[in-house]
């Protein structure tokens, strides 16, 4: 982004003015003695400071009405300087020239990090998110307006040319200088969590660029824009307004249970975490550095894997196979020393200096085939839970039929092989019942988020398939009341058994 600094060294006399150019955009303003200046006019005042103040207001008013310079932010600090930041990445050059009179010093064009305008709150779209517009001078607001750009892809460069939504309101709060909008619903349709047939996960956290305006005393002014990111997350009632879900690793459990031959995956918030360290038996086996610059809409939540433990399993199976035929006294010792994919502890180093620590435990199941469910949790991140015990599949069939006459009128006979009661259509939906095996009580929160998730997939028979959890009642177990904690849930496959896509 480019920032244009303009210094006023003298008052702008009547009839004089200036032209601001930014790329192919241009705005010309003239000083007027009128109490009610026209759209491209302003009252110059009696000093350079008064002229700077009038220019800052005139730029805001004109750009709010006509968008002459495109999306901008105007800063004025009560002195002779006016700063214009062009928040369109396509603007690479900008300048200002005087029209009659000498009242400008040389202008300065500098680079501004886009992070200077980042909205410091997460927009969790499954809960209300209130965005407030307040007048800069505490004057009463007559109405307020938000131009909201919601988009996926590259940040700023793929922002649409026209607002995705324009919100207007004249409903003032008890403080008449403020108005509030709930913006979460407008970003919800752009948040998307998908899993490819290969198992590759994609978490689309769209960018939300907000350009606020308000009208006071008949004049419309623009405010500093905010650039946010939306997540398919939510807060509980007790979390209050605008829940932020401020964990660096976006899961609620600090002990991770996983199947013995699988890798461990942790989703992180790159705005909060700088590095993820995987450790095995006290030794660091993998380090992942996390970029803070979220430049693409799939980078808002980033997942890191420990590395596959499957290779270790295959290696062990191969050695065990040969051990059946050859004496190998060092086999056990070798396997204990070469668990390359096994990670038992994960450290997430936060940007504020704190460290989040997670323990990893592996569960082996020798009788049943473990089944994994992947879902989006309260943070909007992918999380998985393994069900280790028996699973069973059932099917419910739906049909409609009609009764027909099979009589042959030519000879008053009929074939006994023809259907008198004929199916008009018949379809079926399959369900699966899963049993978790034993879990610690700390996993109750994970199961709660899984039950509340809108997006769930099952890893079943080598495929990733969409499912919907159909249990509407769920009793949370505790170690005091239930001793060993295990859960049984029922899922419907989210498609017809017979392909009906057309």
Segment 65-91, tens digit of pLDDT: 788 888 888 888 889 999 999 988 888
Cα–Cα distance list, 146 to 136, 150, 183, 437, 490 (Å)? 16, 12, 10, 50, 44
Q: Is the pLDDT of residue 427 over 90?
A: no
Least confident of 141-145, 325-329, 382-386, 497-501: 325-329
Q: Is the pLDDT of residue 185 over 70?
A: yes
Task: Convert the pLDDT of each residue in 7-53 to its tens digit.
Answer: 999 998 888 999 999 988 999 998 886 665 567 888 877 899 999 98
Average pLDDT over residues 331-359: 76
Which pTM value belongs to this model? 0.81
> Top-level CATH class of 246-364?
mainly beta
* Percent over 90 (pLDDT), the chain: 48
DSSP of 12-61: --TT-EEEEEETTEEEEEEE---SS--TTEE---SSHHHHHHHHHHHHHH
Domain ranges of the chain: 2-112, 117-239, 246-364, 367-502
Q: Is the pLDDT of residue 190 over 90?
A: yes
Rounded Cα distance between 105 and 107, Å, is 6
- What is the model's pLDDT at position 224? 86
CATH number of 117-239: 2.60.40
CATH 2.60.40: does it fit domain 2-112? yes
Average pLDDT over residues 226-233: 95
- What is the model's pLDDT at position 315? 40
Least confident of 7-11, 17-21, 459-463, 471-475: 471-475
Average pLDDT over residues 465-484: 75
Q: Is 320 helix (H, G, I), strand (E, B) or coil?
A: helix
- Residue 28: left (phi > 0), alpha (psi -120 to 50), or beta? beta
Average pLDDT over residues 495-499: 90
- What is the model's pLDDT at position 325? 38
Indicate the pLDDT class of residue 308, thresholds 50, 70 and 90. low
Task: Convert the pLDDT of each residue in 349-363 to its tens digit.
Answer: 999 999 999 999 998
- Domains 117-239 and 246-364 equal at CATH topology level: yes
Indicate the pLDDT class of residue 310, thresholds 50, 70 and 90. very low
Rounded Cα distance between 100 and 48, Å, is 15
Q: Is the pLDDT of residue 366 over 80?
A: no
Q: Is the pLDDT of residue 309 over 50?
A: no
Q: How far is CA 86 from the centre of its chain?
A: 25
Q: How far is CA 186 from the centre of its chain?
A: 13
Contact 229, 122 (CB under 8 A): yes
Least confident of 101-110, 117-126, 316-325: 316-325
* Percent over 70 (pLDDT), the chain: 90
Q: Is the pLDDT of residue 291 over 80?
A: yes
Contact 50, 13 (CB under 8 A): no
Q: Is the pLDDT of residue 317 over 80?
A: no
Signed CA dihedral, 327, 329, 332, 338: sign only: negative
């Amino acid at each position: 982004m480019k920032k244009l600094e303009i210094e006023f060294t003298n008052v702008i006399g009547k009839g004089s003015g200036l032209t601001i150019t930014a790329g192919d955009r241009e705005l010309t303003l003239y000083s007027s003695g009128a109490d009610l200046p026209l759209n491209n006019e302003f009252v110059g005042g009696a000093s350079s400071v008064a002229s700077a103040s009038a220019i800052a207001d005139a730029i805001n008013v004109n750009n709010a009405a006509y968008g002459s310079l495109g999306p901008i932010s105007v800063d004025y600090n009560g002195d002779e300087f006016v700063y214009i930041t062009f928040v369109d990445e396509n603007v690479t050059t900008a300048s200002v020239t005087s029209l009659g009179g000498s009242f400008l010093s040389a202008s300065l064009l500098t680079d501004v990090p886009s992070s200077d305008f980042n909205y410091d709150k997460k927009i969790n779209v499954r809960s209300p998110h209130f965005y407030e517009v307040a007048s800069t001078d505490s004057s009463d607001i007559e109405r307020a307006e938000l131009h909201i750009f919601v988009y996926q892809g590259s940040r700023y460069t793929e922002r649409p040319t026209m607002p995705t939504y324009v919100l207007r309101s004249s409903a003032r709060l008890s403080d008449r200088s403020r108005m509030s909008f709930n913006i979460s619903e407008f970003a919800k349709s752009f948040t998307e969590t998908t899993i490819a047939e290969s198992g590759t996960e994609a978490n689309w956290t769209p960018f939300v660029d907000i350009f606020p305006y308000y009208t006071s005393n008949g004049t419309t002014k623009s405010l500093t824009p905010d650039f946010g990111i939306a997540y398919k997350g939510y807060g509980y009632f007790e979390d209050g307004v605008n829940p932020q879900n401020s964990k660096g690793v976006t899961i609620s459990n600090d002990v991770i249970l996983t199947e013995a031959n699988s890798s461990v995956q942790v989703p992180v918030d790159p705005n909060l975490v700088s590095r993820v360290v995987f450790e095995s038996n006290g030794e660091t086996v993998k380090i992942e550095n996390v970029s803070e610059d979220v430049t693409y809409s799939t980078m808002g939540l980033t997942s890191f894997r420990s590395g596959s433990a499957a290779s270790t399993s295959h290696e062990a199976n191969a050695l065990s196979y040969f051990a059946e035929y050859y004496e190998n006294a060092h086999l056990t010792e070798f396997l204990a020393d070469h668990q390359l994919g096994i990670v038992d502890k994960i450290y997430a180093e936060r940007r504020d200096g704190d460290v989040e620590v997670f323990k990893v435990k592996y569960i082996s199941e020798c009788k049943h085939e473990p089944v994994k469910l992947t879902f989006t949790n309260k943070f909007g991140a992918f999380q998985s839970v393994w069900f280790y015990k028996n699973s069973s599949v059932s099917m419910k069939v739906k049909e409609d039929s009609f009764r027909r006459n099979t009589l042959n009128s030519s000879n008053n006979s009929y074939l006994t092989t023809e259907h008198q009661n004929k199916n008009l259509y018949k379809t079926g939906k399959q369900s699966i019942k899963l049993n978790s095996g034993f879990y610690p009580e700390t996993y109750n929160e994970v199961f709660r988020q899984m039950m509340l998730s809108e997006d769930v997939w099952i890893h079943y028979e080598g495929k990733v398939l969409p499912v919907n959890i159909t249990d509407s009642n769920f009793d949370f177990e505790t170690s005091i009341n239930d001793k060993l904690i295990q859960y049984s849930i029922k899922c419907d496959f989210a498609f017809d058994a017979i392909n009906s896509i057309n």
